[in-house]
């Protein structure tokens, strides 16, 4: 029954205004839609999905695209756009731009949002997309992404054109996304005037903003085919509404209908509800990765000489008699050039005088006749026999080999040392005879396994990597809210209820900054001090700048 009475009252107002102005009642189709901005739930509908001419409400999407481009880093507020002849020749309302003129984006945004300038809107679209047609396609794609299913755009300003349409429902959805997706720019829609670079412009919505208590935006529109349109936002206490009216017969009629809709809707919604924010479109969502940068230190950037430090370990113990004989025979051992011997073997050279190389631990297995391995062995023996080097230049490898014996093999997996020793075969007589080889032979004998190296051995990478001493690892533990020990103070108030109301209203309006902050009212001797705490220093400074721009007392405090 209440809805019927409200609809009847609205139609009565529409008929009365049409009669007073001498216009036909059906000059433009009427539509209206009211939603709870906190949840997106509808409160009132009338022809809300009927496709109508949106007029300059189109500039809401133009501005949404501009804000998106700024936040994604494609342009800046001080980026200069060049005015085309098409933009300069747009019909009023206009800022008065000239073809070829360059103007900063911030002034174009102010002119489009506050004065509803058509030349400024066209310049924004052409500057962002290259042409108005390409920009209109991007506007339609963005509309689909945020849930405007019955909207299609053909230009950036909203003048009547075939195929350019929207609905009261879709424009309310767009208004809600402007409020939640770009709260840092939303206060632009509540300004009564602004500096547009080449002129001071006045708001087309100032009458409704001044007349309706709690109104803070957002956009008007008018063409002969569309009538007088308005999308408005208003807040009272914890409640916020967003509504759209299409087809008003005059500015006064449109504003009166909007006021009636908002008044009746404020009484029908609860004071406290769970806020459900709209999901940003995928075209808008961007992951931001922040990376800490540490200044390079000389120790990390300047290379140091390569060095390898190895702890010395005792040489393996050899048999006394055999070690003495090997050391005595070492000076007479000839120097062997293994590289040259291998080169001769691979080229097919046959050594003239083969010589035997005896190994004491086991006899060398015979190679197949005519194989390459046999040729290599013969080449090594020939190099040893034919080397003309004097005895005074004996090989340096002989003393090293003579002073050590072959280590025993380590146990395999679970086998014990005793099991390995028990399984070792008896020495071969030929091997025993070989151990008593003449002084000119190269002999290796068995010895106990060497002692394990110290655990303090330092190994350094060779050839690449950081060769400097490893820096000490410092583990720093911080609480989960590290760095969030800042807050903002919003002045002094006479009552705690007034301070609480201010904090709640700002939390709903600026959820992007105060969403994770904790509200607190300090009871001081001078009065009640509303505070937002648990903020980082950067968020606290940004919040205070925004509050000061709205003539709200604010100061940054440390918890």
Taking only the tens of pLDDT, the chain with its 559 residues reads: 455 555 556 555 555 444 434 444 445 799 999 999 999 999 999 999 999 999 999 999 999 999 999 999 999 999 999 999 999 999 999 999 999 999 999 999 999 999 999 999 999 999 999 999 999 999 999 999 999 999 999 999 999 999 999 999 999 999 999 999 999 999 999 999 999 999 999 999 999 999 999 999 999 999 999 999 999 999 999 999 999 999 999 999 999 999 999 999 999 999 999 999 998 887 554 444 444 454 554 544 455 555 555 555 666 655 555 545 544 555 544 555 556 666 666 555 444 444 444 445 566 666 566 555 566 667 666 665 655 544 444 445 555 555 555 666 655 544 444 454 454 455 555 444 444 545 545 555 556 666 766 555 554 444 444 444 555 555 555 554 456 788 999 989 888 888 888 888 888 777 777 877 888 898 888 889 999 888 888 888 888 888 888 888 899 988 6
Question: What sign for the dihedral angle of Cα 447, 448, 449, 450?
Answer: negative
Nearest Cα to 285, choosing from 146, 492, 465?
A: 146
Residue 180: what pLDDT? 95
d(CA 66, CA 125): 8
- Determine how many CB atoms are found less than 10 A away from the CB of residue 5: 10
Out of 266, 288, 303, a domain closes at 266
Our count of domains for the chain comes to: 2
Residue 527: what pLDDT? 86
Residue 176: what pLDDT? 96
| Helices assigned H by DSSP within 406-536 | 417-423, 429-435, 496-509, 511-514
Out of 219, 245, 266, a domain closes at 266
Judged on CB neighbours under 10 Å (0-12, 13-18, 19+), 322 is: middle
Flag whether 497 is in a domain. yes
Question: What sign for the dihedral angle of Cα 458, 460, 465, 469?
Answer: positive
Residue 149: what pLDDT? 94
d(CA 167, CA 147): 12
The first and second tokens of residue 559, run together, are 């918890």
Give me the long-range contacts of 159-162 (CB less than 8 A, separation at least 24): 159/55, 159/90, 159/91, 159/118, 159/223, 160/53, 160/55, 160/223, 160/224, 160/225, 160/226
Which H helix or E strand runs over 85? helix 85-88
Name, in order, each residue with C-beta under 8 angstroms of 465's C-beta and a sequence gap of 6 or more. Answer: none
> What's the CATH number where 501 sits?
3.30.70.1070
Cα separations in angstroms, 196 against 61, 145, 352, 382, 514: 20, 31, 102, 98, 30
Flag whether 50 is in a domain. yes
Domain that holds residue 534: 486-558
- Determine how many CB atoms are found less than 10 A away from the CB of residue 515: 10
Flag whether 448 is in a domain. no
Flag whether 35 is in a domain. yes
Judged on CB neighbours under 10 Å (0-12, 13-18, 19+), 525 is: exposed
Nearest Cα to 106, choosing from 204, 203, 216, 197?
A: 197
Residue 74: what pLDDT? 93
Flag whether 544 is in a domain. yes
Flag whether 38 is in a domain. yes
Out of 248, 266, 284, a domain closes at 266
Residue 500: what pLDDT? 87
Q: Are 189 and 216 in contact (CB under 8 A)?
A: yes
d(CA 266, CA 241): 8
As annotated, the active-site residues are 56, 59, 116
């Amino acid at each position: 029954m209440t809805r019927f009475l409200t609809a009847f009252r609205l139609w009565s107002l529409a008929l009365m205004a049409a009669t007073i102005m001498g216009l036909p009642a059906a000059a433009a189709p009427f539509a209206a839609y009211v939603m709870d901005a906190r949840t997106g739930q509808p409160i009132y509908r009338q022809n809300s999905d009927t496709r109508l001419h949106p007029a300059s409400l189109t500039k809401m999407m133009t501005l949404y695209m501009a804000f998106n481009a700024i936040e994604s880093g494609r342009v800046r507020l001080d980026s200069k756009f060049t005015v085309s002849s098409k933009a300069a020749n747009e019909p009023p309302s206009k800022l008065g731009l000239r073809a070829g003129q360059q103007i900063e984006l911030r002034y174009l945004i102010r002119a489009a949002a506050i004065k509803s300038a058509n030349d400024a809107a066209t310049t924004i679209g052409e500057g962002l997309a290259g042409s108005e047609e390409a920009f209109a396609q991007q506007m339609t794609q963005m509309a689909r992404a945020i849930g405007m299913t019955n909207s299609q755009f053909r230009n950036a300003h909203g003048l009547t054109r075939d195929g350019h349409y929207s609905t009261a429902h879709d424009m309310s959805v767009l208004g809600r996304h402007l409020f939640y997706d770009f709260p840092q720019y939303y206060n632009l829609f509540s300004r009564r005037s602004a500096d547009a670079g080449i002129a001071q412009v006045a708001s087309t919505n100032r009458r409704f903003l001044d007349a309706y208590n709690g109104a803070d935006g957002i956009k008007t529109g008018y063409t002969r085919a569309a009538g007088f349109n308005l999308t408005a936002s208003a807040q009272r206490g914890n409640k916020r509404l967003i509504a759209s009216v299409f087809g008003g017969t005059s500015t006064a009629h449109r504003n009166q209908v909007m006021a009636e809709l908002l008044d009746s809707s404020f009484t029908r919604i609860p004071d406290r509800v769970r806020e459900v924010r709209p999901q940003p479109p995928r075209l808008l969502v961007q992951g931001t990765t922040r990376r800490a940068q540490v200044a390079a230190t000389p120790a990390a950037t300047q290379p140091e000489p390569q060095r390898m430090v190895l702890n010395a370990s005792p040489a393996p113990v050899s048999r006394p008699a055999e070690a003495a004989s090997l050391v005595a025979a070492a000076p007479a051992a000839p120097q062997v050039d293994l590289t040259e011997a291998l080169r001769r073997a691979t080229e097919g050279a046959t050594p003239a005088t083969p010589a035997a190389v005896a190994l004491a631990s086991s006899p060398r297995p015979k190679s197949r006749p005519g194989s390459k391995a046999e040729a290599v062995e013969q080449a090594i023996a020939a190099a040893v026999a034919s080397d003309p080097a004097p005895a005074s230049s004996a090989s340096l490898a002989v003393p090293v080999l003579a002073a050590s014996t072959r280590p025993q093999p380590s146990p395999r997996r679970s086998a014990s040392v005793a099991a390995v020793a028990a399984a070792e075969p008896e020495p071969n007589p030929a091997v025993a005879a070989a151990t008593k080889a003449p002084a000119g032979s190269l002999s290796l004998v068995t010895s106990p396994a060497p002692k394990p190296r110290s655990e303090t051995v330092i190994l350094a990478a060779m050839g690449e990597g950081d060769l400097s001493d490893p820096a000490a690892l410092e583990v720093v533990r911080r609480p989960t809210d590290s760095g969030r020990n800042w807050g903002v103070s919003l002045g002094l108030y006479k009552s705690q209820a007034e301070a609480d109301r201010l904090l709640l209203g700002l939390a709903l309006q600026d959820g992007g900054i105060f969403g994770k902050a904790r509200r607190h009212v300090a009871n001081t001797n001078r009065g009640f001090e509303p505070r937002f705490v648990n903020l980082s220093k950067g968020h606290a400074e940004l919040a205070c700048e925004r509050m000061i721009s709205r003539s709200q007392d604010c100061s940054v405090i440390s918890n």
